[in-house]
Amino acid sequence: MTATLTAREKSIQEVPDPRDSPRRACRDHPDPEIFDPISPAEYARAVEVCAGCPLADSCGQWAFRHREWGVWGGRLFEAGQPVPAKRGLSGLRKPAA
């Protein structure tokens, strides 16, 4: 039996996972927790790294389509929705999955 993909599943497949790319600027970053920021300083550092990344556009699309949390493509996401840093920085780090 062949499964039929929903429109959402198809759109998810169209954007490659930025974490698979050797070109990503956050690869081997010494402090990966800044991409799950709990302070304005961490958020600013993550945004700075993303600003120099060639994958920034597709990374943000990935976060939107996969309902991600944290900094992706230089923006802060909550469940795939871009949010202002003021609202999104809770001061608490999410437990590791």
Of 74-93, which residues contact ligand SF4 (CB under 6 A)?
Answer: 74
Nearer to ligand SF4, 24 or 95 (CB): 24
Among 42, 64, 73, 76, binds ligand SF4 (CB under 6 A): 73
Nearer to ligand SF4, 5 or 79 (CB): 79
Say which residues have a Cβ less than 8 Å from residue 40's Cβ, sequence separation at least 6: 85, 89
C-alpha distances in Å from residue 53, one per residue of 18, 39, 50, 66: 10, 22, 5, 20
55 lines the binding site for ligand SF4 (CB under 6 A) = yes
Stretch that binds ligand SF4, among 6-14, 37-45, 53-61, 77-85 (CB under 6 A): 53-61
Look at residues 39, 48, 55 and name the one whose alpha carbon lies nearest to residue 93.
Answer: 39
Tell me which residues touch ligand SF4 (CB under 6 A). Answer: 18, 24-26, 35, 49-50, 53, 55-56, 59, 72-74
